[in-house]
Amino acid sequence: MHVAIDSSFLEQLTAITDGWDGSTERRYCHLCNVSALLNQQLEDINWVGFYLMREDRKALVLGPFQGKVACTDIDLDRGVCGLAARTKESVRVDDVHTFPGHIACDSASMSELVVPLVSSSGDVVGVLDVDSAQKGRFSEDDRLLLERAAKIICEALWT
């Protein structure tokens, strides 16, 4: 198992997303802290961050992240992030080179886990994207943990 998270992780996540005032600026502040926390807690990753749904709901746009420079816009019909946003389902890819239409923002990335962010009204508001330079890095336990994290994030920041 590659999850390098101690028992207080979800409590920390809840604490740093608590008290949102409803503003876009504060949402970004909280998402910045979440990406930093995930970057500190997850082992063997090279990128972690958010892509948020554009107002026209046709693409995702880069949000707060930790890692190398990233793609700024992702159409919903492209890549792992687009698939997760379209289907409202997490997508775990052991080898991104075998995924049709994979978008290679960082050539070092070999595996990816993308979890949709779904608001209380059932709308996809973005995705949480995590990449690793190791093939097969992400486990089912990682998926379940990040789905729990996504739920906390959405309940706090998209009410």
Chain-centre distance for alpha carbon 20: 19
Q: What percent of the chain has pLDDT over 90?
A: 86
Proportion of the chain above pLDDT 70, given as a percent: 96
Q: What is the pLDDT of residues 95-144, one digit of tens each?
A: 999 998 777 777 789 999 999 999 999 999 999 999 999 999 999 999 99
The domain in which residue 96 lies consists of 9-157
Task: Give the pLDDT confidence score for residue 98 in this predicted structure.
Answer: 92
75 domain-assigned: yes
Asked if residue 134 is part of any domain, the answer here is yes
CATH classification at residue 61: 3.30.450.40
The answer to whether position 2 is within a domain reads: no
Q: Give yes or no for a contact between 67 and 106, defined as CB atoms under 8 angstroms apart.
A: yes
75-99: pLDDT as tens digits:
999 999 999 999 999 999 999 999 9
Helices (H), the chain: 9-17, 24-41, 79-87, 140-157
Confidence class for position 7, pLDDT limits 50, 70, 90: low
pLDDT in the model for residue 3: 47
Instruction: Report how many domains make up the chain.
Output: 1
Average pLDDT, integer, range 2-26: 84
Q: pTM of this prediction? A: 0.94
Report the C-alpha gap between 33 and 80 in whole angstroms: 24
